[in-house]
Amino acid sequence: MERKWEAMEAIFKPKAVAVIGASDNPGKLGSHVMRSLIEGRYPGKIFPVNPGKEEILGIKAYPSLLQTPECVDLSIIVLPAESVPKTFQECREKGVKGIVLITAGFKEIEDKRGETLQQEITELANQFGMKVIGPNTFGVVNLHLPINASFTPEFSSVEKGEIAFVSQSGGMSHLMGFLSMTSQVGFSKIIGLGNRCNVDFDDMVEYLTDDPQTKVVALYMEGMDHPRRLMEVAERAKGKKPILSYKVGRSSTGDQASQFHTGSLAGKHEVYGGAFKQAGILMVQSSEELLDTSKALAISPLPEGSCVAVLSGQAGPGMAACDVCETEGLSIPPFSSKTQQKVETLLPPLAIRTNPIDMGPAWYDSEAIEGIVHSVLEDKKIDAVILCIMFASANRASVGILADLLLQSQEKKPVVCCLSAPRGIWDEEIKRLEASGIPNFPTPERAARVLANLVRYKKLRSEYNE
């Protein structure tokens, strides 16, 4: 266990990294890996290894790993598949503990030799006490060190945050990274498991459960080799941090495709559904939902129940949110009579004053907004709030007022927002709210779906805490 942790730490927090197969030819993955480390401002030592070069991208290169002058914790390997066993031997000699094996051509190819080769290197790695991310991976990124040990330098532009994304697909990791750049979402780590030769979902979830920089673990899965162990590890994480999973292969075609992709059968979707629920893993149905829900779980308190108040600046978006709430099993109950009376004294009879409230007529009256939001948050019949306001010149100030109010509130109920405006108008207010645990989403429907997932997660967890 100690030794395993040490090897994982070597992958995510290395003091020195060797790039075996480093290159300065932009047509080679070895050059992209070098750029990722350099442009990503990795603070440790970088040792490019390439027998034909004295220097790569301004850094002294070495003809072999064994000739590098210092200890190396992590080797990133971008050599052809057949030379990997020999390289593993050298890594052992050098005392390397962590490997990121970008090289493809193992279990995922049609040729049986790929699988044999993968067995061979897995046995070597196990024997040498090395942990291997891959083969057939884009790499790993730890935004807190920072280290971008991948072939995509652009991952270094992803914001630092508290969500770890663990993926069986490099494509899905890139998608999530790029989506996050326009969604104010930050990641602690982005990890491409590839063919999972000796680091599978279970190992990674186990490691991340104890990782202080990770609050939420988001998984993208196609298939699994050790489902039972994953469930055990996930059950141990329950109450510590949320684990979500987006699993594809619901369709028969996707299921077949998975087999080829990373060499594992996706298996019956329903079977996974039941097992995940038991283990406290929250399942979601799309990449967007995975990102949205992870963002909320990283910052928001959890609701005590499923009773929601919908407060909107305009009725339409509030109604759209209500539709999703009801479809997803949330309830939009009447307020307590105390709250209802308060709302009626504050709002003129010009719009909806029951739940959902249309606060439109109150925009010019910050005291009224304050009063309404206060009473609704304090209402014991209400577990959570959805707040939807679409910008119009006349309500520009409203979100600032609401932000002040929400940030002062002592109530620890989740508030999920859809505050929508052209770029630049409410950016600061939204940033303030998100920094204090109140997430914002681009549409009322997405905000409502996220809240439904917070409720589902709370239930999953409570059932298992009993």
Rg of the chain in Å (alpha carbons): 25
Distance CA 303, CA 455 (A): 6
Distance CA 299, CA 184 (A): 12
249 is a site residue for a copy of itself (CB under 8 A): yes
Per-residue binding letters, 393-412, with a copy of itself (x by CB under 8 A): xx------------------
Site for a copy of itself in 108-137 (CB under 8 A): 108-111
Binding-site member from 23, 258, 300, 375 for a copy of itself (CB under 8 A) = 258
Nearer to a copy of itself, 170 or 242 (CB): 170
Say if residues 245 and 275 touch (Cβ distance below 8 Å).
no
Site for a copy of itself in 53-82 (CB under 8 A): none
Binding-site member from 91, 297, 302, 332 for a copy of itself (CB under 8 A) = 332
Nearer to a copy of itself, 8 or 176 (CB): 176
Q: Which residue reads 């010009």 in tokens?
A: 350
25 is a site residue for a copy of itself (CB under 8 A): no
Q: How far is CA 331 from CA 318, 373, 458, in A?
A: 14, 19, 15
263 is a site residue for a copy of itself (CB under 8 A): no
171 is a site residue for a copy of itself (CB under 8 A): yes
Site for a copy of itself in 268-307 (CB under 8 A): 286-288
253 is a site residue for a copy of itself (CB under 8 A): yes
To a copy of itself, the closest distance from the beta carbon of 194 in angstroms equals 11
169 is a site residue for a copy of itself (CB under 8 A): yes
| Count of residues engaged in binding a copy of itself, rule: CB under 8 A | 89
Question: Containing H/E element for 378?
Answer: helix 366-378
To a copy of itself, the closest distance from the beta carbon of 265 in angstroms equals 13
The conformational region for residue 239 under phi > 0 = left, psi -120 to 50 = alpha, else beta, is left
To a copy of itself, the closest distance from the beta carbon of 101 in angstroms equals 16
Type of residue numbered 105: G
- Among the candidate windows 91-99, 297-305, 309-317, 427-435, which touches a copy of itself by CB under 8 A? 309-317
Distance CA 382, CA 57 (A): 59
Nearer to a copy of itself, 362 or 388 (CB): 388
The tokens describing 170, both together, are 């490099």
To a copy of itself, the closest distance from the beta carbon of 126 in angstroms equals 26
SS3 314: coil
439 is a site residue for a copy of itself (CB under 8 A): no
Question: Containing H/E element for 209?
Answer: helix 201-209
Binding-site member from 38, 57, 275, 315 for a copy of itself (CB under 8 A) = 315
To a copy of itself, the closest distance from the beta carbon of 84 in angstroms equals 16
Binding-site member from 252, 345, 410, 465 for a copy of itself (CB under 8 A) = 252
- Among the candidate windows 69-77, 207-215, 235-243, 257-265, which touches a copy of itself by CB under 8 A? 257-265
206 is a site residue for a copy of itself (CB under 8 A): no
443 is a site residue for a copy of itself (CB under 8 A): yes
Site for a copy of itself in 368-387 (CB under 8 A): none
Say if residues 346 and 339 touch (Cβ distance below 8 Å).
no
**CA dihedral for 200, 137, 33, 171, sign (positive or negative):** negative
Distance CA 271, CA 260 (A): 21
Q: Are strands 45-49 and 16-20 parallel, antiparallel or unpaired?
A: parallel
Say if residues 331 and 428 touch (Cβ distance below 8 Å).
no
In this structure, the number of other CB atoms found within 10 A of the CB of residue 400 comes to 14
219 is a site residue for a copy of itself (CB under 8 A): no
Binding-site member from 57, 59, 79, 175 for a copy of itself (CB under 8 A) = 175
Q: Which residue reads 């935004």 in tokens?
A: 143
Site for a copy of itself in 338-367 (CB under 8 A): 349-352, 354-356, 358, 364
- Cα 175 vs. chain centroid, distance in angstroms? 11
Nearest of 42, 35, 91, 102 to residue 65 by alpha carbon: 91
Nearest of 9, 28, 275, 256 to residue 147 by alpha carbon: 9
To a copy of itself, the closest distance from the beta carbon of 289 in angstroms equals 9
To a copy of itself, the closest distance from the beta carbon of 157 in angstroms equals 6
Say if residues 412 and 301 touch (Cβ distance below 8 Å).
yes
435 is a site residue for a copy of itself (CB under 8 A): no
